[in-house]
Amino acid sequence: MNKERLVLIGNGMAGMYTIEEILKQEPDRFEITVFGKEPHPNYNRILLSSVLQGDSELKDIVLNDYDWYKEHNITLYTGDEVTRIDTNNKQVESAGGIVCAYDHLIVATGSNPFMPPIPGSDKEGVISFRDIKDTETMIEASKKYEKAAVIGGGLLGLEAARGLLNLNMETEVIHLQDQLMERQLDPNASKMLKRELENQGMRFHMEKQTEQIFGRKRAQGLHFKDGESLYADLVVIAVGIRPNIGLAENSGLKTNRAIIVNDFLETSAPDVYAVGECAEHNGIAYGLVAPLYEQGKILAERLVSKEPAGTGYQGSLTSTKLKVSGVDVFSAGEFGEADDLKSVLVHDDFDGVYKKVNIRDNKVVGAVLFGDTTDSPKLLNLINKKEDISEVGKGIILPSESNAPMESPVVDMANEETICGCNGVCKGEIVSAINEKGLTSVNEVKQHTNASRSCGGCKPLVSDLLNATLGDGAAVNEVEPLCGCTDLSHEQVIEEIKAKQLSHTREVMNVLGWKEPEGCSKCRPALNYYLSVSKPEEYEDDYASRFINERVHANIQNDGTYSVVPRMYGGVTNSDQLRKIADVAEKYEVPLLKLTGGQRIDLLGVNKEDLPAIWGDLDMPSGHAYGKSIRTVKTCVGEDFCRFGTQDSIGMGMTIERKYERLNTPHKVKMAVSACPRNCAESGIKDIGIVGLEGHWEMYVGGNGGVDLRGGELLGKMNSDDELLDAISAFLQYYRESAHYLERTSHWIERVGLDHVKAVVLEDEEERANLIERMEVSLEHKGEDPWKELTYNEKKKQELFEQRKVELV
């Protein structure tokens, strides 16, 4: 039987979700062809900000990789935009000259960033923030330039600004309105957000209209309508989006603001459908992911059943639950002011919490939450159900504000109530999947239901639902598998390595029944790390299992060149080191020298074949800017120079860095030592932050200056230098032994709990001593710097040079 030909224009989230829903219902029904404008498989656009920060790469946010398309017999054309739809002959034509016939056509072309007609917006250095290419452009700009301006104080603009701050750029946000995120927040919540972001380092220019972007070839700044100016090396425009309907218009489809569709996502042309941001239903074009997925589910049912099922798509209640620069935010429905509205308000400036629930005719019609979004599932369901609340108190509307012990909101939720708003997955679907398929982990629920697949904000609810469904005492596995090559979690793999005395990556794969005998790029480095921690005295590093950056001791850049960062202990240097760096820069024609946020000098644009010789000429240890290891120990000038300093921060920072350099860790570890509570070394947002006070040190842990901004928490007070070093050793060793590979200390602390870490690292004297002892063993066997031998043995220097040259080439 001939399959029906289904063509999808647009390889984004809405269109591919529709395809996934079709495959769930009838996997062999259609011959599917997908055209994507971008040269990538389908990726999660919501997580672009994590790539901008550097916490993720493109491969980490891919939703469906190339193997998935092959597995489902889908023909995928990436980097090839459809330029024509012939609705009479039912075929499409691409820019690459491909002509493809269809029986059913889905148009999912999404949106384009709105670029206002500002004179100078066509200059170099002016970009939008919409796709992975924009993200990569911003990352590259941050390596060359220092100051950025973001036009737009909505969600997208603030995400871009946070990412640029994390890339060590001075960042100014320009917003036309008098409040940030005015579409999602009321004035009070917006004011609190602005204050929090200012504390993080953003600067705002409110009620400012950009009149011109000035500069010659490249943007150099902005002129405002009120006559003021602002200098900037990079201008990011993030003021909104517009449906991408050019193809539809040229093909004769009926459009307004977007492509007009009915309740079953049908356009004005037979067998042509539209879904996502390019579709307009009842005069509304949605830009949030949850409505787009609701549309995708309806369209999948329509295509599979041929006859319309149910009432079709009836529009969506727009709700937003997100994290803006580390702050939880939720809004839904009508959260503004009106004469016929009554409100329940909680406003706590000290704890940074704001809650507002709007009520009309005894029904909840809208809400905005800032700082604490625990009640969002309950509120969203009250708004959807339009329940009469005249007989209930504030404790029902905002359970978190009642004095009763808090239990998960999933307990009282009805089966039809939504758990995952992004993907439209209700409680009943998840419970059925848990019971019928024997699911025991969040990851398994995600794989079978799509819950928590997009932004991940509902993971705690999914976890609670697992526990509630399986009952007290059930063996609920909350940890995801290490990778797709195995069903074993990180913890299970570690335990098996210890129990079976495994000693090599291939041995682990063979003994533990890896699905892929060679493993993958995710598990090989992880196994190499776990084995090295398990047997530091005897394990021989599996060089081939390391990431490319670690193998060449430099960070690869987007143009194929490399970044070289020599170590400067505690950020301290001298004329001899500076002279060496200058000589190397001239000899090898290094294009750019830049000071890093970790108080070192970065040599950017180094050719791959020059790396061994450069390290040899530098005669300086590597700063491991590429490694999953101790990166930097940032310091302030301390008591010797600063009138506020109470401790020798430089001396302590250099001691710490020399002691722990080259130590392998689950992820990068950044440290700082400040000589007083003024915290000039930014100790409050480091993995380990030390603050000096009169007579003692304070040690903070679990900080993160990335997209998921997290302040460090006080682990304890140390009364001497030796006590401080012991605490660092115990903490680092426990992190090394119990964290997942590629898990930052911030995420590890959130997973295991600070109180638990304190109990192990500080309070259990026997375990503390054991951790310190194991750390000392690891430090003894961490080996010399891989490039140090280049400096004292000419024969060895030549041998290593030739060896590395072969590896690099």
Query: 3-state DSSP call for residue 233?
Result: coil
Distances (CA, A) of 684 to 108, 276, 296: 44, 42, 44
Going by C-alpha positions, the residue among 492, 482, 581, 587 that lies closest to residue 525 is: 482
Q: What does 401-424 look like in DSSP terms, one character per residue?
A: GSSSPP--GGGG--TTSEEETTTT
Q: How many helices (H) and strands (E) does the chain have?
A: 26, 38
Q: Residues 261-281: pLDDT tens digits? A: 999 999 999 999 999 999 999
Residue 516: how many CB atoms within 10 A of its CB? 12
Q: What pLDDT, on the 0 to 100 scale, is given for residue 456?
A: 67
The residue-averaged pLDDT of 696-714 equals 87
Are 526 and 767 a contacting pair, CB within 8 Å? no
pLDDT for residue 791: 38
Residue where a domain stops, chosen among 429, 447, 478 = 478
Helices (H), 222-314: 246-250, 289-305
* 533 and 670 housed in the same domain: no
Q: State yes or no: pLDDT of 284 exceeds 70.
A: yes
Residue span of the structural domain in which 166 resides: 126-239
Residue given tokens 């992004």 in the structure block: 422
Give the total residue count for the chain.
Answer: 809
Does the pLDDT value for residue 598 go beyond 80?
yes
**Residue 787 pLDDT > 50:** no
- Give residue-wise pLDDT tens across range 198-239: 888 889 999 999 999 999 899 999 999 999 999 999 999 999
CA nearest neighbour of 512 among 533, 528, 527, 534: 527
Residues 68-89, mean pLDDT to the nearest whole number: 95
Residue 742, domain member (yes or no): yes
Say if residue 469's pLDDT is above 50. yes
- The answer on 16 and 107 residing in a single domain is yes
Instruction: State the DSSP code for 2.
Output: P
Question: Residue 794: what pLDDT?
Answer: 44
Tell which wins on pLDDT, 100 or 434. 100
Residue carrying structure tokens 């081939």: 544
Please report, in range form, the residues annotated as the binding site for siroheme: 680
Nearest CA among 680, 698, 574, 688 for reference residue 636: 680
Sign of CA dihedral 307, 310, 316, 321: negative
Q: Is residue 642 domain-shared with residue 767, that is, in the same domain?
A: yes
Measured torsion, CA atoms of residues 754, 755, 758, 761, in degrees rounded to the nearest 10: -80
Residues tagged in the binding site annotation: 636, 642, 676, 680
Question: What's the pLDDT at 476?
Answer: 54
| 589 CB-contact burial (10 Å; exposed 0-12 / middle 13-18 / buried 19+) | exposed
d(CA 217, CA 298): 49
Locate 111 and state its tokens. Answer: 């949106």
Asked if the structure places residue 563 within a domain, the reply is: no
Quick one: 424 and 292 in the same domain?
Answer: no
Position 735 in a domain: yes
Query: Which residue in this structure is represented by tokens 């672009």?
Result: 48
Segment 477-504 shows an average pLDDT of 81
According to the model, what pLDDT value does residue 199 have? 83
Judgement on whether residues 195 and 297 belong to the same structural domain of the protein: no
Report whether pLDDT(786) > 70: no
Residue 719 lies in a domain: yes
pLDDT of residue 479: 56
The single-letter DSSP state of residue 45 is G
pLDDT in tens, 621-679: 888 888 889 999 999 998 888 888 889 999 999 999 999 998 999 999 999 999 998 88
Structure tokens at 681: 């070394």
User: What integer is the mean pLDDT of 508-520?
Assistant: 85
Q: State pLDDT tens for residues 555-572.
A: 887 777 889 999 999 999
CATH of the domain at 98: 3.50.50.60
Q: Do 255 and 144 reside in the same domain of the chain? A: no
**Distance (Å) of CA 620 to CA 210, 576, 591, 624:** 47, 11, 20, 12
Percent of the chain topping pLDDT 90: 50
**Residue 524: pLDDT over 80:** yes
Mean pLDDT of 520-527: 84
User: Is there a domain that residue 258 lies in?
Assistant: yes
Of 273-282, 347-356, 437-446, the least confident: 437-446
Which of these three, 280, 305, 330, is where a domain ends?
A: 305
List residues bridging with 593 in a β-sheet.
Answer: 603
Quick one: pLDDT at residue 20?
Answer: 93
Together in a domain, 8 and 106: yes
pLDDT of residue 708: 66
Q: What is the CATH number of the domain that holds 707?
A: 3.30.413.10
Give 104: exposed, middle or buried? Use CB within 10 Å, 0-12, 13-18, 19+. buried
Whole-number pLDDT of residue 597:
85
Of residues 147 and 321, more confidently modeled:
147
CATH number of the domain to which 423 belongs: 1.10.10.1100
**How does residue 80 score in pLDDT terms, banded at 50, 70 and 90?**
very high
Among candidate residues 455, 478, 501, the one where a domain is terminated: 478
Q: Is the pLDDT of residue 182 over 50?
A: yes
Please check whether residues 467 and 512 belong to one and the same domain: no
pLDDT at 455 over 70: no
Query: For residues 651 and 269, what is the distance between their CA atoms, to the nearest angstrom?
Result: 74
Element (H, E) at 464: helix 459-470
634 and 749 both lie in a single domain = yes
Residues 102, 248 within the same domain: yes
Write down the pLDDT at residue 308. Answer: 57
pLDDT at 805 over 50: no
In a domain, 774, yes or no: yes
Longest dimension (CA), the chain: 87
Which residues participate in the annotated binding site for [4Fe-4S] cluster?
Answer: 636, 642, 676, 680
Per-residue pLDDT averaged across 535-549, rounded?
77
- Three-class secondary structure of residue 628 per DSSP: coil
Residue 762, pLDDT score:
93
Among the listed residues 162, 205, 37, the one whose alpha carbon sits nearest the alpha carbon of residue 110: 37
First to last CA, the chain: 52
Q: Taking 70 as the threshold, does the pLDDT of residue 415 lie above it?
A: yes
What's the pLDDT band for 783 if we cut at 50, 70, 90? low
C-alpha 434/C-alpha 591 separation (Å) is 56
Partners of 85 in beta bridges: 92
pLDDT score at 770: 93
715 and 762: one domain? yes
pTM value is 0.63
C-alpha pair distances (Å), 734 with each of 442, 474, 500, 747: 25, 27, 22, 14
Over the stretch 336-345, which tens digit does the pLDDT of each residue have?
A: 888 889 988 9
The domain tally of the chain equals 5
Residue 596, domain member (yes or no)? no
pLDDT per residue as tens digits for the range 742-763 = 889 999 998 889 999 999 999 9
* Structure confidence at residue 797 as a pLDDT band (50, 70, 90): very low
Between the CA of residue 555 and those of 353, 551, 616, 670, 748, what are the distances in Å? 41, 10, 17, 17, 25
Shared domain for 173 and 90, answered yes or no, is: no
pLDDT classification of 785: cutoffs 50, 70, 90: low
Any domain includes 594: no
